């Protein structure tokens, strides 16, 4: 969702895919080497399927985010509402 903000103006799904791949690769490498050989953990494996699914998920999230952003008001709308309600009379006790 935040990636669309940084790449506003042009469709940069490829950059989002590279960032998703890089972050996923970082976590896979960290998952494999996090214990630095102190303990035997056979469940900590480097899985290429995780890299692929995380990268595809990043691209899908980048493409589908505008559908959900329609439900979130813009900063201008929030600023107008804040200004409108700020000028209203305050509720008093009693």
Burial of 91 (0-12, 13-18, 19+ CB in 10 A): exposed
Average pLDDT, the chain: 78
Question: What percent of the chain has pLDDT above 70?
Answer: 71
- pLDDT surpasses 60 at 63: yes
Q: Let me know: does 57 contact 72? Beta carbons within 8 Å.
A: no
Q: What is d(CA 61, CA 74) in angstroms, rounded to the nearest whole number?
A: 20
* Residue 82, pLDDT score: 81
| Mean pLDDT to the nearest integer, 42-57 | 83
For the whole model, what pTM was predicted?
A: 0.60
- pLDDT surpasses 90 at 68: no
């Amino acid at each position: 969702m935040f990636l669309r903000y940084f790449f506003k103006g042009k469709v940069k799904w490829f950059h989002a895919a590279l960032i998703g791949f890089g972050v996923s690769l970082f976590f896979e490498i960290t998952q494999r080497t996090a214990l630095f050989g102190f303990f035997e953990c056979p469940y900590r494996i480097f899985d290429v399927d995780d890299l692929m699914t995380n990268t595809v998920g990043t691209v899908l999230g980048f493409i589908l985010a505008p559908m959900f952003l329609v439900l979130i008001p813009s900063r201008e709308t929030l600023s107008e509402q804040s200004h409108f309600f700020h000028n209203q009379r305050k509720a008093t006790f009693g």
